[in-house]
Structure 1
Amino acid sequence: MDDISLGLSLSKSLSTTWAPSAEEGTIFWAIFVVGHDCDHGSFSENPNLNNIVGHILHSSILVPYHGWIINHMTHHQNHGHVENDESWVLLPEKIYKNLDLSIKFLRHKVHFPLFAYPLYLWSRSPGKKGSHFNPYSDLVKSRESSNTTTLVDIGETC
């Protein structure tokens, strides 16, 4: 009888945490997509409105909007290029073959992106310097620095 009680208790616990998590994940993804559309200019014809809405939405999900749009532009300019793409850096076959089996296993699990994405925002792709959170990092070029710094400062003040 104790096993049945424990099983029912665990199933109730899982059902009450996984369903809301899936809903929250869907909502956060939708917020990210609208912010992404702001970057592409498809949210509004007004670039200032796109930047304001994008900044507010991305800030609500802890993604630094202006660092991210610079990275996103670099990604689009180099999409599919094995060495220059910003957001998807392929692991060379030689390195992959030398990884432990446990590391290979973890790279293909759902939980890995949950940890990898925040680390990526903090320190960029392997082999690249800078941070999406730091408007003075190597990610932000000098011509973009004043606009990004001003907008980040305004966003942090709010």
Structure 2
Amino acid sequence: MFNAVIEAPFGKVGIRTGDGAVREIVYLPESTRAFAPDCPLAERAVAQITRYFASAQVDFDLPLAPLGTAFQRRVWDGICAIGAGEVLTYGTLAKRIGSISARAVGQACGSNPFPIVIPCHRVVSASGIGGFAHHGGDGFFRDVKRWLLTHEGVSIR
């Protein structure tokens, strides 16, 4: 169950909260029913994500649940250091965080429970846009990634 589902330029965004933290942010298709936040933390998340949709230059300050493995958190911290309008390849991010595996970085990106707030869309393949949210190939998720990158002024094929 979501605490809020909001309209997004590419469909909807669902937000789950619990125990004083954001627990998950999910990209949802247009057909999903939107509804207003049901708690103050969901209201805060909605406000910040909505500001991002208006301008990519938003700093998020949401409490995030301590999810993921130590390696995933290291990757997600590395992602947070990538500014709006910038991209890194999986391999470059791997080197920055002291990993030898671009593939492992890609898997950690796909497991990110807080997209937009932890902007995993800013990590791309050396040969193009790459996958998104553990979805390869064209379709809804890659279209979301394209929208997010275009919104930030990045053009990737």
Taking structure 2 as the reference length, the TM-score comes to 0.28
| Higher strand content, 1 or 2 | 2
Considering Cα pairs closer than 8 Å and 6+ residues apart, tell me whether 1 or 2 has the greater RCO. Answer: 2
